[in-house]
């Protein structure tokens, strides 16, 4: 099909199994998206199930039994129409807020997959619009770059706190924030969020770092050793090296202010090198510690 429905269908199918870049297509006959076909509805259901399984959101996702809206279909069409960025952005900004966590989850299935594709280069305005329409993506990946640069991330922080209060939400958040990233903006957001959560939601913060060490310890060790070399060499280090160190700054702050809390996580070990890195470079490059 060479219309908006066909574009959305192909992108949703890709999001279920995101191999290679997302498909592209036109946005002709947009009105048809208001009455999605059985094939489109089936793909939305499959994507919701796959995303919930990947994130450990449970069934029903995060305890939410509300129906899924059309947001994921519209966002899939916008991703497919990225060759016409202004049109795609306008469509994205017309998407209403999610109807509930189930709706937010399936939107993240589309947006998160598109933003995680390393070969995909979306214009910043379109990427930010997609994230604005997918509040779960703003939490578990990052808010839009415009908000990050301006420091206007309170809505994403509020969404994170709301997520923590849902069934399986705290575990989903910790698991998502623990994964190593090569994107300095993602790491900068995680450092900010974890630092803001450590005062009232310390358990979530500790569980995040526990998960980082237990599930991703080798990958983090490689990233920390690389950041050590970058930060100790002559010249200005990369933003990614600084962000890699800052990711561990909230844990360094806990270790400094209340080290006994860390010992409540029996298997939270191997983090000493990261904390030392934060402390050595804190005054030079800033951070929570």
pLDDT digits (tens, 9 = 90+) for 28-67: 999 989 999 999 999 999 999 999 999 999 999 999 999 9
Query: Distance between CA atoms of 221 and 214, rounded to whole angstroms?
Result: 12
Question: What was the pLDDT predicted at 288?
Answer: 47
Percent of the chain with pLDDT over 90: 88
Locate tokens 């039994």: which residue? 65
- Asked whether the bond before 60 is cis by omega within 30 degrees of 0, the reply is yes
Number of Cβ within a 10 Å radius of residue 263: 8
Average pLDDT score, the chain:
94
Supply the pLDDT for residue 118. Answer: 65
pLDDT at position 120, please? Answer: 74
Whether 289 shows a pLDDT value over 60: the answer reads no
pTM: 0.93
Q: What are phi and psi of 172, to 5 degrees?
A: -60, -45
Q: What sign results for the dihedral spanned by CA atoms 28, 31, 34, 35?
A: negative
Minimum mean pLDDT among 98-107, 198-207, 230-239: which range? 230-239
Helix residue ranges, H only, the chain: 4-16, 38-55, 71-80, 85-93, 101-116, 124-132, 135-140, 145-150, 154-164, 169-177, 184-197, 202-232, 239-247, 249-257, 259-262, 272-285
- Cα–Cα distance, 174 to 286 (Å, whole number): 24
pLDDT of residue 282: 73
Compute the average pLDDT of residues 233-259: 93
pLDDT for 265 beyond 70: yes
Using one digit for the tens of pLDDT, what is the confidence trace for 167-177?
A: 999 999 999 99
C-alpha 28/C-alpha 6 separation (Å) is 10
DSSP string, 86-117: HHHHHHHHTPPPPSSHHHHHHHHHHHHHHHH-
**Residues sharing a CB contact under 8 Å with residue 148, sequence separation 6 or more, in sequence order:** 142, 185, 188, 189
* Better-scored residue on pLDDT, 285 or 2: 2
pLDDT per position as a tens digit, 57-95? 999 999 999 999 999 999 999 999 999 999 999 999 999
């Amino acid at each position: 099909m060479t219309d908006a429905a066909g574009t959305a269908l192909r992108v949703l199918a890709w999001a279920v199994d995101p191999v290679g870049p997302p498909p592209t297509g036109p946005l002709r006959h947009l009105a048809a998206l208001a009455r999605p076909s059985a094939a489109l509805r089936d793909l939305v259901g499959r994507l919701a199930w796959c995303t919930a399984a990947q994130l450990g959101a449970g069934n029903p996702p995060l305890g939410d039994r509300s129906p899924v809206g059309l947001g994921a279909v519209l966002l899939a069409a916008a991703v497919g129409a990225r060759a016409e960025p202004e049109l795609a952005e306008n469509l994205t900004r017309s998407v209403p807020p999610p109807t509930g966590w189930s709706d937010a989850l399936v939107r993240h299935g589309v947006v998160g997959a598109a933003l995680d594709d390393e070969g995909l280069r979306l214009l910043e305005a379109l990427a930010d619009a997609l994230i604005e329409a997918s509040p779960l993506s703003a939490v578990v990946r990052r808010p839009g770059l415009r908000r990050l640069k301006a420091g206007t991330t309170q809505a994403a922080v509020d969404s994170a706190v709301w997520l923590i209060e849902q069934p399986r939400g705290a575990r989903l958040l910790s698991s998502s924030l623990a994964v190593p990233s090569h994107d300095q903006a993602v790491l900068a957001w995680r450092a900010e969020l974890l630092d803001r959560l450590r005062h009232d939601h310390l358990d979530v913060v500790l569980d995040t770092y526990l998960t980082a060490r237990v599930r991703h310890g080798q990958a983090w060790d490689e990233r920390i050793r690389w950041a050590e070399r970058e930060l100790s060499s002559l010249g200005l280090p990369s933003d990614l090296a600084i962000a890699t160190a800052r990711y561990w700054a909230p844990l360094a702050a806990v270790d400094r202010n209340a080290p006994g809390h860390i010992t409540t996580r029996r298997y939270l070990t191997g983090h000493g090198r990261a904390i030392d890195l934060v402390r050595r470079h804190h005054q030079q490059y800033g951070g929570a510690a």
